[in-house]
Amino acid sequence: MAEKQHGSHPHRHARGCEHRAIAHEGHVDYLHDGHLHHVEHEHVIECLLKEDAANPAACTPQHACSEHEVKHAHGSGCGHEAVPHAGHTDYWVGANLHHPHGNHCDNHGSVKSA
């Protein structure tokens, strides 16, 4: 994981804070305003999910999502949390990552709550 320290961050991420916790590379990260934060001692590291077998970044036009209407458009304020993944933004829908792509959503694998 390439570390990028997050600037000023007054909020203290911890179990029970209002941000969703996910299991990631053997530690816990917190989703916060489209960022994935990992608490390391007294500072916060910006993380992202890398492209791998569990979280591919491929086009999957055959993906048929039962978690939202076909016409649903992912984006800011859509009701799904933004997750940084492989240089783009996915949206957490059910247990899966969806990536808006043209007239469909790509399935970019699953994530686990911590």
pLDDT tens, position by position, for the chain (114 residues)? Answer: 455 655 666 667 567 787 788 998 888 888 988 889 888 777 888 889 999 999 999 999 999 888 888 788 999 999 999 999 999 999 999 999 999 999 889 999 999 998
The closest of 67, 57, 68, 69 to 95, measured between CA atoms, is 67
Structural domains counted in the chain: 1
Q: Is residue 80 part of a domain?
A: no
Q: Is residue 13 part of a domain?
A: yes
Q: Determine the Cα–Cα distance for residues 77 and 33; give it in Å rounded to an integer.
A: 11
Q: Is residue 40 part of a domain?
A: yes
The closest of 55, 33, 52 to 106, measured between CA atoms, is 55
Q: Is residue 79 part of a domain?
A: no
Q: Determine the Cα–Cα distance for residues 7 and 45; give it in Å rounded to an integer.
A: 9
Q: Is residue 42 part of a domain?
A: yes
Identify the pLDDT of residue 4. Answer: 61
Identify the pLDDT of residue 1. Answer: 44
Q: Determine the Cα–Cα distance for residues 105 and 64; give it in Å rounded to an integer.
A: 8
Residue for token digits 């500072």? 43
